[in-house]
Amino acid sequence: MTSLGYELIVISACVLGGVFLKGGLGKVSYVVASVLISGTVENAMNLYNISPFAQCVVRG
């Protein structure tokens, strides 16, 4: 994967981490935890040979 398309990953990790998009309030530790969880889910989807389109749907 190139650097294109990482916007969705970053925004979803911040939202899952509890960061408010309008005010920017949130904790870095929650964002780090959500990044680790989403990375684990993405790795599991790759191991189960789930199509990239379905991965994008799950990620979004």
pLDDT tens digits along 3-23: 677 888 888 889 999 998 888
31 domain-assigned = yes
15 domain-assigned = yes
Q: Per residue in 27-48, pLDDT tens?
A: 999 999 999 999 999 999 999 9
30 domain-assigned = yes
Count CB-CB contacts under 10 A for residue 13.
21
Please report the DSSP string for 16-42 in residue order.
HTT--TTT----HHHHHHHHHHHHHHH
| Contact residues for 40 (Cβ-Cβ < 8 A; gap 6+) | none
Contact 35, 59 (CB under 8 A): no
1 domain-assigned = no
20 domain-assigned = yes
Q: Above 60 in pLDDT, residue 1? A: no
Closest CA to 1 of 36, 43, 58, 34: 43
Which domain covers residue 43, as residue numbers? 6-59
12 domain-assigned = yes
